[in-house]
Chains A and B, each alone.
Chain A
Amino acid sequence: MSIAVRNVVKKFGNFTALDDVSLDVPHGSLVALLGPSGSGKTTLLRIIAGLEGPDGGSVLYHDEDVTHRSPRDRNVGFVFQHYALFRHMTVFENVAFGLRVRRAPKSQVDSRVRELLHLVRLDGFAGRYPPQLSGGQRQRVALARALAVEPGVLLLDEPFGALDAKVRQELRQWLRRFHDEIKVTTLFVTHDQEEAFEVADRVVVMHNGRIEQQGTPQEVFDHPANAFVMDFLGNVNVFQGRIQDGKMHLGNIEMACPEYTNGEARAATAYIRPHELDIDRSPSVASSLRAKVLQINPNGSVAKVRLASEEAALELNVEINLDRYAELGLQPGDLVHVAPRRFRVFFPEDYSI
């Protein structure tokens, strides 16, 4: 079942949680709603589920308007951030709940619950109570419970938020494979961009109750629509400068910026990702920034180098691959030259927090 959200507005008192949000989730896809806390992503999810009503706009399931339909008639599976398992029921009864309230015959309930517990790898746990389970197990019970009623849409609110790093990593990959098996249209909320990029087919970046950008993880990461998206999706070095006649001036250095040929000088901000900066012993490129190495942290496949540039009066984060790192033989205190390979320019008025 595909989901469409049309011009949804939601206010809590004076606070606008969702400001004219429109969104399409294609059938069978796995989509991440990504944003900082307070961006409205959970509110949007709850409106799609019918747990909140929008103040304006509509929600469509497969071209059918369900805006005023109660959650019980929407056939959604919702997994809550803190699982919300029924604490007085066993794992079996938790999973069976949706079928029992629909008065499904007992034999059907039995076989369906067994199937689901097998699917989420909790075969031996039917008789346990929620307090007797670990976080990851509770999460999977919540998932099985939501799937028991064969929902057309699966909605997950921060599904991995309350888990520790290792379990989270495992469950992420598991969810991806799981989705590939069951093919239910799935929408999940997260504030962790790494999680969104790893799991989802499409990423929807939200900020201040609006959708800033949506697309595949690759599109969003490579072509951020604005400064917020750029900033939110991982580390970035921010340079304040001026732009004039197709050239960006950052302190003493000058970078070609052919898109802006206007003769009038204008304040601009350049965003450069750590891996888009190169370090050199000598000023190999015409315009490079002199900087002093503060700290080096070889981390997995890259070395993270922190530098201070006195000319630009800022700290830089650079990531270089380990071969390059070995070649340079960097030591803290070394004076080096830093030059950008790529950068993106946004004008300050585009970006306000």
Chain B
Amino acid sequence: MTIPLATVVSDERVSARRRRRAGGRRGGQPAGSSRTAGYLFVSVYVVLLLALGVAPTVYAIALALSAPGGVGFAHFINTFNFFEFAPAFEHIFEFEGIWLATQTVFVVTLALMVHTLAHRVSSVFRFIFYLPGAMAGAASVVVWLFMFDPHTSPWAFILHAFHFQQLANTVVPGNLPIIFAIMAFFTGAGGWIVIMYGALNNIPRELIEAAEIDGSNVFQTALRIKLPLIRKWIVYMLVLSFAAGSQLFVEPQILAVATVGEVPAQWSPNQLAYYLAFQLDRFNDAAAISVDLLVIGLLVAVLLVWRGKLFEVD
């Protein structure tokens, strides 16, 4: 969650600088020496990006496209025909559907509600919401293992209400999308509430006051004024969350080890790719699945950015 937070800050700075520039110099371009410094700073990042971001991607695409007769889609066709291929993508879409829907509804609703509170009260709430997010990744899975085991869970009575007598009952395949959605929700929602709150704070005070003078009540202000103004942030949250969710790996992988296979080690596409590469030594097929994920992530991002008008200036 640190990345989006940083982006919020930098985004504010950028717009502030833009405003300053627009009012100040006509050309809006920084002077010579500061431009060199800018290139210098960026170059470090560009080198790292090329080495650790672009090069592996190009390598994966090359691996995926290399076929016995040169270049071809043999590995894509291969993997597409794997019995685990379609279920893995079904799993991930089911998970994303549940997770993104609940996350969007709860994050936006809670952020709007918290934003109506006095600052000191709201900061307490934001802190509480954020707390579960402090425990991310592998650590959270380990804690959730306790939570989902009726023998150790403090909420055992809820699990018993669903007739779950032991961990094996809780993690049956049909429950997994919901289980991973619950994990992802509590890990991520708090951070996004903080970001949405920041976005809400960006709304000019005069605008809300004007609405109130015109007789808008709390609900109308929230739905008609605030919500449209943070739409881009919601789209931004969806783009990032979708990409992260489609690459789900740590949670099912640890559950697979902890349940010795009741959660299959090929549950998500990323796990299937890992299994192919590192258990069966089939790197090309694994690369093909990675490229599939890349394409899906890009397509969804482009769709959301385009439909959500993310990069348009108001």
Query: Is chain B a partner of chain A in the same complex?
Result: no
Residues of A within 8 A of B (CB): none
